[in-house]
Amino acid sequence: MRIFPEFCAGLKGITDFSHLIVLYWIHMRDNEEERGTLLVFPRRHAVNVEMGVFSTRSPSRPNPIGLCVVGLLKVEECTLTVKELDALEGSPIIDVKPYIPRADSIPNARVPDWTWHGPKT
* pLDDT for position 116: 80
- Let me know if residue 118 belongs to a domain: no
Residue 111 lies in a domain: no
> Which residue range forms the structural domain that includes residue 40?
29-63
Angle at 3 between CA 30 and CA 34, to 5 degrees: 10
Q: Given this model, what pLDDT does residue 33 score?
A: 93
pLDDT at position 17: 98
pLDDT of amino acid 45: 63
The answer to whether position 46 is within a domain reads yes
State the Cα–Cα distance between residues 10 and 3, nearest whole angstrom: 9
Residues of the chain with pLDDT under 70: 44-47, 119-121
Structural domain tally of the chain?
A: 2
Inside any domain, residue 117: no
According to DSSP, the residues that pair with 81 across neighbouring strands are 74
- Which pLDDT value is given to residue 47? 67
What's the pTM?
0.86
CB 40 within 8 A of CB 51: yes
Do 21 and 79 share a domain, yes or no? Answer: yes
CA dist 38 and 20 (Å) reads 29
Instruction: Say yes or no: 53 and 76 in one domain.
Output: no
User: Quick one: 39 and 92 in the same domain?
Assistant: no
- On whether residue 112 sits in a domain, the answer given is no
pLDDT digits (tens, 9 = 90+) for 63-72: 999 999 999 9
pLDDT tens-digit readout, 23-34: 999 999 999 999
Residue 57 is predicted with a pLDDT of 87
Classify each residue of 78-112 as buried b or exposed e, where b means 16 or more C-beta atoms within 10 Å of its C-beta.
bebebeebbbeeebebeebeebeeeeeeeeeeeee
